[in-house]
Chain A
Amino acid sequence: DAKTTQPPSMDCAEGRAANLPCNHSTISGNEYVYWYRQIHSQGPQYIIHGLKNNETNEMASLIITEDRKSSTLILPHATLRDTAVYYCIVPRGTASKLTFGTGTRLQVTL
């Protein structure tokens, strides 16, 4: 997978937007950016993925820069249940084989 860089931890107040950045400067033209999260002691959960256009679903929005070298996952109204480790992954070859880094530990507080 293409190398990704994420901050190790972030805090966010409940009800505010959580903006999680990811750098992936070695991404290739046909590679997608995926976001997964893992709530403590549970299996990872798919959030969203995109190629070059911004994407939105019921969970989050994904903003990819024009040069595709970085992206931001946005949780528009964070709740305590969004406290988790968030992984930014750029699979290479197949999206069903994932290389998880250390991710960003998001702590949502009251």
Chain B
Amino acid sequence: DAGVTQSPTHLIKTRGQQVTLRCSPKSGHDTVSWYQQALGQGPQFIFQYYEEEERQRGNFPDRFSGHQFPNYSSELNVNALLLGDSALYLCASSVPGQGLDTEAFFGQGTRLTVV
């Protein structure tokens, strides 16, 4: 079992550009969540996808968007990059359902640097 895989591992972009990050969930998982972790902070929830739809969203602007594919993999897109978007972006997947008794499995993240 490959677990949660994210690509790329590192990325450098220029202010104003757009970026796409990718995530493949753990086998058997259908729910994918994205988090942003700034340096020295805990991860912050961006949004969650289930059945190819955005189900929940954190306090992030519309510049952050996503997509989930039929095979449950997901993309995070960020438009008009700002220096403050520099962070570790984490993807997490969880077992089917939306209950309270389900653990999340995280990938190793994509380190995005905006210059």
Q: Which residues of A contact B (CB under 8 A)?
A: 30-32, 34, 41-46, 49, 51, 85, 87, 91, 93-103
Decide if A96 touches B31 in the complex (CB within 8 Å): yes
Q: Are B45 and A97 in contact (CB under 8 A)?
A: yes
Q: What are 14 contact pairs spanning A and B, CB under 8 A? A: A31-B100, A34-B103, A43-B4, A43-B108, A44-B43, A44-B90, A49-B103, A95-B94, A95-B102, A96-B104, A98-B104, A100-B42, A102-B42, A103-B42
User: Is the C-beta of B87 less than 8 angstroms from some C-beta in chain A?
Assistant: no
Closest to B104 in A: A96
* Given A31-B100, A32-B100, A43-B90: A96 in contact with B106 (beta carbons within 8 A): no
By a beta-carbon cutoff of 8 Å, the part of chain B in contact with chain A is 4, 31, 33, 35, 42-45, 48, 56, 88, 90, 92, 94, 98-109
- Docked complex Cα distance between A32 and B99 (Å): 10
Instruction: Please give, as numbers and ranges, the residues of chain A lying within 8 Å of B106 by CB-CB distance.
Output: 43-46
| Nearest opposing residue in chain B for A103, CB measure | B42
**Would you give the shortest CB distance from A28 to chain B, in whole angstroms?**
10
Shortest CB distance A53–B (Å) = 13
A94 x B98 contact (CB < 8 A): yes
Once bound together, how far apart are the Cα atoms of A51 and B102, in whole Å? 12
Chain B residues near A45 (CB, 8 Å)? 106
Query: For residue B56, which residues in chain A have a CB less than 8 angstroms away from its CB?
Result: 94, 97
Residues of A within 8 A of B45 (CB): 97-99
Known A-B contacts A32-B100, A94-B56, A96-B92; A101 and B42 likewise in contact (beta carbons under 8 Å):
yes
B3 closest partner in A (C-beta): A43
